[in-house]
């Protein structure tokens, strides 16, 4: 084992953890005053639930053994057998460090999908749904992409740090659940104002900071590949930030702080699957293109399809993740990372591109089917949606009995 790699990976695990409270601030700033505590509580509660599940059985199901390329087994129940020696996924860091790093991915992924549901979901129902969804959707996808013998890994599909596992799965599930639950009351004629833009900037900054651990840490070593993933992540995010600013300037003649923050996040989403596979110059293209793709994707979902994806979880993470997967199939190079079996389509080989499309279609199918199953089970025990009276009062009061701004008496 290597102490440098071990120290690096522990820091990266902490950075990825930092992303979930960052997401809480990002989402919390975007909602109305009466729902900010509830929105942030969704992320905070998952910080606790996901860790307990991962330690008891989640890590074992995702990475222990293999059953049909779909799921693991319970050989590491309660992390029995996961210790300070090297494990099967890296020979330079303790098995526990790899487990801790992956635990943080299992934490932020269900938190991402909560953004589409703000202002109308019963908190108890959301907790039950997240528990079921982690078992039915996240653990199998983590195994299929990153586990030994996983279906998508055996196909040759590439996902360096979570395009399929994290972003497409959460984004598609968010869209599916938003359709099931329905739009917020008065959605057609109500103007939803962002209540705290500094929160949005703080959250986006925390996400960008943590994302370097998310992507660079996926190299599992403090080496040149980690440095490459670090640079592609910074480059794509910066390009997307600038691209979104240009869109704002062209559409409304003014650049917006919220737009710039949204751009940097979708840039990170798009580079995630290919961060350790694509050249740095390609990261510029990926970042520049993801902002218009997501911008008009959000308009399609909200204005044309009339789906209330409240904080654009699908518009940013689902669509951005799909573009990232496609871009990996276009620009990946075997010379950068030998884990790639083929070069991308731009370099004359169509195999990887075809496998990437197939992998994303499988991910989408698992996310949709899994979300329908989980929502159906939760509905047996509790309504998914709050009452009209609870929604009008705000979920901070109706679900938690507290207010983020108790001295504020103005209008929403």
Measured at the alpha carbon of residue 219, what is the angle toward residues 203 and 281, in degrees to the nearest 5? 75
Are 220 and 90 spatial neighbours (Cβ–Cβ below 8 Å)? yes
- The yes-or-no verdict on residue 410 having pLDDT over 60 is no
**Alpha-helix runs per DSSP H in 300-381:** 313, 319-331, 351-381
Measured at the alpha carbon of residue 158, what is the angle toward residues 319 and 56, in degrees to the nearest 5? 90
Sorting pLDDT into bands at 50, 70 and 90, what band is 409?
Answer: low
Sorting pLDDT into bands at 50, 70 and 90, what band is 189?
Answer: confident
Average pLDDT, the chain: 96
If one counts every other C-beta atom within 10 angstroms of the C-beta of residue 254, the result is 8
CA contacts within 13 A on the Cβ side of 116: 29
Beta bridge partners of 86: 94
- The yes-or-no verdict on residue 412 having pLDDT over 70 is no
Q: How large is the average pLDDT for residues 244-256?
A: 96
- The yes-or-no verdict on residue 8 having pLDDT over 80 is yes
- The yes-or-no verdict on residue 406 having pLDDT over 70 is yes
Are 163 and 272 spatial neighbours (Cβ–Cβ below 8 Å)? yes
Which class is domain 3-400? mainly alpha
For residue 303, the model assigns a pLDDT of 86
pLDDT digits (tens, 9 = 90+) for 48-94: 999 999 999 999 999 999 999 999 999 999 999 999 999 999 999 99
pLDDT digits (tens, 9 = 90+) for 88-147: 999 999 999 999 999 999 999 999 999 999 999 999 999 999 999 999 999 999 999 999
Q: 91-109 burial, b if ≥16 CB within 10 A, otherwise e?
A: ebbbbbbbbbbbbbbbbbb
Residue 359 and residue 68: Cα distance in Å, rounded?
A: 16
What does the longest C-alpha to C-alpha distance in the chain come to? 63
The residue extents of the domains of the chain are 3-400
DSSP labels for 141-178? Answer: HHHHHHSTT-HHHHHT---SSSIIIIIIHHHHHHHHHH
CA contacts within 13 A on the Cβ side of 100: 19
Q: How large is the average pLDDT for residues 37-50?
A: 98
Residue 131 and residue 146: Cα distance in Å, rounded?
A: 21
Residue 290 and residue 286: Cα distance in Å, rounded?
A: 6
Give the tokens for residue 313: 């979880």
pLDDT digits (tens, 9 = 90+) for 135-178: 999 999 999 999 999 999 999 999 999 999 999 999 999 999 99
Phi, psi of 275 (to 5 degrees): -55, -35
Residue 395 and residue 412: Cα distance in Å, rounded?
A: 14
pLDDT digits (tens, 9 = 90+) for 346-368: 999 999 999 999 999 999 999 99
Are 255 and 248 spatial neighbours (Cβ–Cβ below 8 Å)? yes
For residue 341, the model assigns a pLDDT of 97
For residue 190, the model assigns a pLDDT of 74
For residue 408, the model assigns a pLDDT of 62
Handedness of CA 367, 372, 377, 382 (dihedral sign): positive
């Amino acid at each position: 084992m290597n102490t440098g790699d071990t120290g690096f990976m522990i820091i990266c695990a902490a950075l990825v953890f930092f992303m979930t409270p960052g997401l809480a601030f990002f989402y919390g700033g975007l909602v109305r005053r009466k729902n900010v505590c509830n929105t942030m509580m969704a992320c905070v509660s998952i910080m606790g639930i996901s860790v307990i599940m991962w330690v008891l059985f989640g890590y074992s199901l995702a990475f222990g053994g293999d059953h049909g390329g779909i799921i693991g087994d319970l050989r590491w129940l309660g992390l029995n057998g996961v210790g300070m020696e090297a494990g099967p996924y890296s020979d330079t860091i303790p098995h526990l460090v790899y487990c801790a790093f992956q635990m943080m991915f299992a934490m932020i992924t269900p938190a991402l999908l909560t953004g589409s549901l703000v202002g109308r979901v019963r908190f108890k129902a959301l907790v039950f749904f997240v528990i079921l969804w982690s078992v039915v959707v996240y653990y199998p996808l983590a195994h299929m992409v990153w586990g030994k013998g996983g279906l998508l890994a055996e196909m040759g599909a590439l996902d360096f740090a979570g395009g399929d596992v994290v972003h497409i799965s959460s984004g598609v599930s968010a869209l599916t659940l938003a359709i099931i639950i329905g739009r917020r009351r008065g959605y057609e004629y109500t103007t939803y104002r962002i209540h705290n833009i500094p929160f949005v900037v703080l959250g986006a900054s925390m996400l960008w900071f943590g994302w370097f651990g998310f992507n660079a840490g996926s190299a599992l070593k403090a080496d040149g590949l980690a440095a490459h993933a670090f640079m592609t992540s910074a480059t794509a995010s910066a390009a997307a930030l600038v691209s979104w600013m240009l869109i704002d300037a062209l559409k409304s003649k003014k650049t917006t702080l919220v737009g710039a923050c949204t751009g940097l996040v979708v840039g990170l989403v798009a580079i995630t699957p290919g961060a350790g596979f694509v050249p740095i110059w390609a990261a510029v293209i990926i970042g520049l293109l993801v902002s218009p793709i997501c911008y008009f994707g959000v308009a399609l979902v909200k204005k044309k399809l009339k789906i209330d994806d409240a904080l654009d979880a699908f518009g940013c993470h689902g669509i951005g993740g799909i573009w990232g997967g496609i871009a990996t199939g276009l620009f990946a190079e075997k010379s950068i990372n030998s884990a790639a079996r083929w070069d991308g389509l731009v370099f004359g080989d169509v195999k990887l591109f075809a496998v990437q499309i197939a992998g994303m279609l499988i991910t989408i199918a698992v996310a949709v089917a899994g979300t329908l199953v989980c929502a159906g089970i939760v509905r047996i025990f509790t309504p998914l949606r709050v009452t009209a009276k609870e929604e009008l009062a705000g979920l901070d009061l109706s679900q938690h009995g507290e207010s983020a701004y108790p001295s504020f008496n103005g209008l929403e």
